[in-house]
Amino acid sequence: MFETNEMFSLKGRTAIITGGLTGLGLAITRCMVGAGAKAVVLSREQPEKAAKILEEFEGNAVFYQFNVTDTDKTQQLVDQIIAEQGPVTILVNNAGNHCKKTIEDMTVEDYEKVLDVHLVGAFALTKALVPHMKEQKKGSILFQASMTSYIGQPQVAGYATAKAGYLGLVHVLAAECGPEGVRVNAIAPGWIETPMFHQATDNDPPRLQKILGRIPMKKVGDPMDIGMAAVFLSSDAARYINGVCLPVDGGALIGF
């Protein structure tokens, strides 16, 4: 008998998740562990704080302190993780930073810092893992894209450049890695109920109404919606999905 549930299971798999201690990253960690995976969480956070956050996973999530912009150390870290945690079949590039400034106020250094985290850091980690995944003939690589991959939003030039850049990177990597059984996709979250969202909208009712007016479902998403999308794209249920960016936005991209 065909067991559908098994197709969505990540039991026995190991997932590296960057920025997996907070916000959408923590939701992804929760969903990955909930689906049976072991989570390897990378963050710049202090180990003591990380240990406290990861207590809920009862040993199914481990922490490595790492700054993704330290690209000269990325391969060494990946080799260490594989040696200590076993084969890795899932990578979620979720680490990010933000710089909200107009083009006049943003410096070249500001711009470069955003790209270093989102694009260069994610590329280095992906590059370090691809040969390992190809050798296994199995792997799922995800990039956390954004609505700004598609739409114009003021004051986020670096962020929008990086998120749009993910689309090109996903397409190239999907074409290169697909023949070896490694799938590469992205998720584009819409407006999600996070502390950052509340900070931007709680004292700005017109902005909130404008956002909700664009979403056909008339509500913002939950962080777990992003986590569940990550699980799906990493599972065998998505075994023929390669090179796509999945909007998880309640229909905002097509909203009127």
Q: What is the 8-class DSSP label of residue 152?
A: -
DSSP codes, 130-143: HHHHHHHT-EEEEE
- Are the CB atoms for 57 and 33 separated by under 8 Å? yes
Q: What does the block give as tokens for 144?
A: 């956390």
64 is catalytic: no
The residue among 192, 102, 179, 185 whose CA lies nearest residue 147 is 192
User: How many alpha carbons fall within 13 Å on the CB side of residue 107?
Assistant: 3
- Identify the CA nearest to 88 among candidates 115, 128, 31, 48: 128
Query: Which member of 64, 111, 150, 159 is catalytic?
Result: 159
- Both tokens of 61, joined, read 């999530």
Q: Which residue has the tokens 């390897």?
A: 40
* Sequence-ordered alpha helix ranges (H) in 137-204: 157-177, 195-201
Residues in contact with 220: Cβ distance below 8 Å, sequence separation at least 6, in sequence order: 190, 191, 192, 193, 197, 211, 212, 250
Q: How far apart are CA 251 and CA 215, in angstroms?
A: 6
For the annotated catalytic residues, the residue numbers are 159
